[in-house]
A and B are shown apart, each in its own frame.
Chain A
Amino acid sequence: MVDIMKSQTPIIEIDNLIVSFGEGDDARRAVDGVSFSVLAGETFGLVGESGSGKSTILRAITGLVPSTATTLRVMGEDVSRERGKDFYRKVQMVFQDPYEALHPRHTVWRQLMEPARIQKVPDAETRAKASLDAVGLPQALRWRYPHQLSGGQRQRVAIARALMLKPEILLLDEPTSALDVSVQAEILNLLCDLQEEHGLTFLMVTHDLGVVAHMCNRTAVMQSGKLVETLPVDVLVNGGATEPYTRKLIAASEAYGEAPASLSQLTKV
């Protein structure tokens, strides 16, 4: 964890974000009036219930789903309507589901080179090689297609691709959920190094409070489309959460880490 907060400048500002899906009786707000901001150079966690709207928030930031908001600013610019080409270089997203980010008929190499080509990156090949190394994938995998990789290898291709354009902001949706903890450690260390060297900002969705404790400065907790509370991570891990849902989440995670007498006992927290 980076101990000192790098700045007090908000780099992502979100006020009253609303995303709705469905029509008529089936219309639902997947994100229901969410407000938070992420400071430049910090790692901000987004945790909470499955289906509570975490991925949808990341999609709304990148414009993949239509949304409304009182404020939706990234790097000081209003992005509630449109985003320039520059936005897609400076902001990169690692999807929860790597299949979604990767083109099924492109080789690993082409997945990496394509965004670099669009953005006219001069040293693309060198970068692509370095990205594969950085995520611990052998160069020999570069001629494979996504379906010829293991789940964790696919997830690492998606991470390598996001790093290709040297972004300033990374939106990470469960970026290590398919990795064994030894590879996860390598990726998390890599992210920390990038942050220290280049001052990157991370907005990171995860279900693993151990990862939150290790990586994040602050975290927001979500339940049913609403943001329940936002708190510094040291407050969270030291029992300072005030909302019942947050307390339940941390209690379950703690019990899970130590040795519970039985599984049924765990569910009762």
Chain B
Amino acid sequence: MNSPLLSVRDLRISFNGVAGPFEAVRGVSFDLGREKLGIVGESGSGKSMTGRAIMRLTPRAAMVKAQTLCLPDVDLLQASEKTMERIRGKRIGLIMQDPKYSLNPVVSVGEQIAEAYLIHTRSNASEAKRKAAAMLEAVQIRDPERVYRMYPHEMSGGMGQRIMIAMMLVSEPEILIADEATSALDVTVRLEILNLLDDLVRKRGLGLIFISHDLNLVRHFCDRVLIMYRGHVVETLKAGELDQATHPYTRGLLDAMPRIHTPRRRLPVLKRDPAW
């Protein structure tokens, strides 16, 4: 891979719990190019923490260490908070797992998207408004003019996710981290959103980190997949070769998927090996 957009080496995140220190991320390493990198993994395995560490948005209690965590021109471990403020949203966008709680509850969703545009570009209010409305349409919001004036608590689960996607795309970041960003969308709308992201990767060279539980989506949409289990990467695969996974956790995932045409009385469950 020629000159990655982002390099992560030996990322470790720990918390001081009542029962002693707890390592939520235990040595994660990867490079991100102008590609769609999927991250799949166990619930609680450290996917969201990894995404937040890249943005330097881990909770205060978290201790973050790494050998390398950098953009080509910025060391994210050393950068000042002021530098980070310029990077967040503008160069790296993060779509959080709980979109409705990352939005400002007292500002209409349209205004929030317009504001994000204004902060990161030299433009005026009317241009920002036009851009925000266009973004709402691009993410398949029905009746975008009316929704523009609505507030986060008035959004359905899937509308909230799309507002967040619109807000992160409007400032055209170089890297986008999408944390379960399409889980509340019906399949037809989801495919439209994926097409939009795919276009950005192909035409603008966006680097996309796509955290998802949806194996079918990852298999068809991403270029590569990291499989995470208990704080580390247990396997890296070409997305199209997910079926050839060898790690027992990944195999277990593939088996546990409910299928439309292969009914089973019970779904197989994993026997988790402490050695994984």
Which B residues, 3 to 53, have Cβ-Cβ distances below 8 Å to chain A?
17-19, 40-44, 47-48
**B257 near A189: Cβ-Cβ < 8 Å:** no
Is B184 part of the binding interface, using a Cβ–Cβ cutoff of 8 Å?
A: yes
Residues on the B chain within 8 Å of A240, using CB: none
Query: Are the CB atoms of A182 and B252 closer together than 8 Å?
Result: yes
Report how many residues on chain A are interfacial, defined by Cβ distance under 8 Å: 64
Tell me the smallest distance from the CB of A267 to a CB of chain B, in Å: 5
Q: How far is the CA of A192 from the CA of B264 in the complex (A)?
A: 12
Q: Is the CB of B100 within 8 A of A151?
A: no
The interface-forming segment of B72-80, B85-93, B127-135, B214-222 is: B214-222
Does B256 lie within 8 Å of A213, measured CB to CB? Answer: no
User: Which chain A residue lies CB-closest to B158?
Assistant: A50
- Give CA–CA (A184, B269) in the complex, Å: 9
| Listed stretches A37-45, A73-81, A116-124, A256-264; interface member | A256-264
Query: CB distance A260 to B260 under 8 Å?
Result: no
Contact B265 A207 (CB under 8 A): no
Contact check, A99 vs B48: say whether CB atoms are below 8 A apart.
no
Q: Knowing A1-B265, A210-B260, A214-B263 touch, does A256 contact B213 (C-beta < 8 A)?
A: no
CB proximity to B under 8 Å, residues A37-90:
47-51, 54-56
Query: Interface-forming stretch among A9-17, A126-134, A162-170, A246-254?
Result: A246-254
Contacts of A28 in B (CB 8 A): 146
Q: Which of A96, A214, A260 contacts B184 (CB 8 A)?
A: A96
A150-B48 CB under 8 A given contacts A55-B157, A257-B216: yes
Cα A54 to Cα B156 with chains together (Å)? 9
Nearest residue (CB) in A for B250 is A182
Residues of B within 8 Å of A184, CB to CB, are 213, 256, 258, 267
Chain B residue contacts of A47, Cβ below 8 A: 186
How long is the Cα–Cα vector from A209 to B188 in the complex, in angstroms?
Answer: 12
Q: Is the interface of A mostly helix, strand, loop or mixed?
A: helix
Report how far A246 CA is from B125 CA in the complex, Å: 41
Interface string of A203-236 (1 = CB under 8 A from B): 0000111110111000000001000000000000
**Binary A-proximity of B218-235 (CB < 8 A = 1, otherwise 0):** 001100000000000000
Interface locus among B63-71, B113-121, B168-176, B192-200: B192-200
If A97-B98, A210-B259, A267-B191 touch, whether A180 touches B159 (CB-CB below 8 Å) is no
Choose one: B43, B217, B261; the contact of A152 (CB below 8 Å): B43
Inter-chain CA distance A222–B216, complex, in Å, is 23
Give A contacts to B, CB under 8 Å.
1, 21, 26, 28, 47-51, 54-56, 96-97, 99, 140, 143, 147-153, 156, 173-174, 177-186, 188-189, 192, 207-211, 213-215, 224, 237, 248-250, 252-254, 256-257, 259-260, 263-264, 266-267
- Sample of 6 A–B contacts (CB below 8 Å): A50-B156, A96-B157, A180-B253, A214-B267, A263-B191, A267-B191
